[in-house]
């Protein structure tokens, strides 16, 4: 495929939640910092508008972005660009979605995560039902720690059957899961096993840095979130000369947003057009038990 998959992450670092397992710095942002983040986002949106090629964007903030109206407006603007095949964002879904009703639903998608210690199933699923009514495409995920198992089962029962519910594996302890627990989670997410390992990746091929890349608020380009080397800047002419195949320099790769770009895993075939928002292309056709009942 000739298009680009772009992960955008500005300087926003604040979140309305405080999950114990959060890997990001839990900070608050001043008004000045938010304005700076907004200017950077506006500049990125303008750049996408001028870059007339097939583009998919996933916004992956350090904190929660959808609580800020300027992010909701950016999603709407990007969704309406004819050359933007997908605009997606990672979110805890706490914010109202009213502003998103102006978006082009063919391009918009949300990567939502349920955090059981921060909100209730009722509140989270009520927002999911609002998105169903608004015909907004979304996936739902949960961190697969033991304390969440019951909530995961209850969430699966409450979601529309054809909404894909993914589970992120706990990877701090390679022996974390006890006998039967992986099977229990695979009964909810049949693709859970893809997220279980940290894949050895050093020297392996990867489309990150070629057709997929990460953009920071200042325009700096890295091949992915997990490799620090800056390979260019989107605001400099000819930056795309730096986009080319190169071997992975990291020991392992363990996040969906990274390993889906490794050709040997063939996950681009599994996720297809839903790669950025984490919805398998044929979901739920391959798993009829998740398909809506016929009248």
Give residues in contact with ligand SF4 (CB under 6 A).
15, 17-19, 22, 24, 63-64, 92, 115, 201, 206, 208, 223-224, 226-227, 248, 250, 253, 258-259, 261-262
How would you classify the pairing of strands 230-233 and 165-169? unpaired
Q: Which is nearer to ligand SF4, 19 or 136 (CB)?
A: 19
Torsion angle of the four alpha carbons 58, 174, 157, 122, in this order, in degrees rounded to the nearest 10: -70
Spatial neighbors of 144 by CB under 8 A, at least 6 apart, are 152, 167, 168, 169, 170, 185, 192
Identify whether the C-beta of residue 40 lies closer than 8 Å to the C-beta of residue 65.
Answer: no
The contacts of residue 176 (CB under 8 Å, 6+ apart) are 170
If the CB atoms of residues 8 and 290 are measured against ligand SF4, the closer one turns out to be: 8
Dihedral in degrees, nearest 10, Cα atoms 212, 216, 221, 224: -40
- Minimum CB separation from ligand SF4 for residue 261, in Å? 5
Of 81 and 88, which has the nearer Cβ to ligand SF4? 88
User: Measured from the CB of residue 213, what is the shortest distance to ligand SF4 in angstroms?
Assistant: 10
Burial of 204 (0-12, 13-18, 19+ CB in 10 A): middle
Of 13 and 233, CB closest to ligand SF4? 13
Shortest Å, Cβ 288 to ligand SF4: 32
Residues 88, 117 contacting (CB under 8 angstroms): no
Q: Kindly give the pairing relationship between strand 55-59 and strand 84-91.
A: parallel
Query: CB-wise, 89 or 107, nearer to ligand SF4?
Result: 89
Neighbours of 159 (CB within 10 A): 20
Q: How far is the CB of 106 from ligand SF4 (least distance, A)?
A: 27
* Least CB distance to ligand SF4 at residue 220 (A): 16
SS3 label, residue 21: coil
Toward ligand SF4, which CB reaches closer, 269 or 291?
269
Q: How near is the Cβ of 140 to ligand SF4 at its closest, in Å?
A: 13
């Amino acid at each position: 495929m000739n298009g680009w998959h772009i992960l955008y992450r500005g300087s926003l670092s604040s979140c309305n939640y405080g999950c114990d397992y959060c890997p990001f710095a839990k900070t608050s942002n001043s008004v000045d910092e938010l304005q700076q983040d907004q200017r950077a986002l506006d500049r990125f949106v303008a750049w996408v508008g001028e870059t007339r090629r097939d583009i998919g964007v996933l916004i992956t903030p350090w904190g929660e972005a959808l609580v800020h109206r300027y992010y909701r407006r950016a999603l709407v603007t990007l969704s309406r660009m004819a050359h933007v095949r997908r605009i997606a964002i990672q979110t805890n879904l706490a914010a109202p979605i009213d502003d998103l009703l102006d978006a082009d639903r063919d391009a918009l998608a949300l990567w939502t995560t349920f955090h059981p210690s921060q909100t209730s199933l009722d509140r989270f699923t009520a927002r999911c039902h609002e998105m169903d009514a608004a015909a907004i495409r979304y996936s739902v995920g949960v961190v697969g720690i033991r304390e969440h198992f019951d909530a995961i089962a209850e969430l699966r029962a409450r979601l529309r059957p054809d909404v894909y519910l993914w589970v992120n594996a706990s990877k701090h302890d390679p022996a974390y899961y006890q006998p039967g627990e992986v099977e229990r989670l695979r009964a909810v997410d049949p693709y859970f096993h893809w997220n279980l390992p940290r894949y050895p990746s050093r020297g392996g091929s990867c489309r990150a840095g070629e057709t997929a890349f990460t953009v920071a608020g200042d325009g700096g380009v890295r091949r992915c979130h997990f490799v620090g080397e800056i390979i260019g800047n989107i605001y400099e002419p000819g930056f795309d000369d730096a986009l080319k195949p190169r071997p992975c320099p990291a020991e392992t790769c363990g996040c969906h947003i990274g390993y889906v770009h490794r050709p040997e895993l063939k996950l681009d075939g599994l996720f297809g057009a839903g790669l950025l928002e984490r919805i398998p292309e044929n979901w739920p056709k391959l798993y009829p038990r998740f398909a809506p009942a016929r009248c």
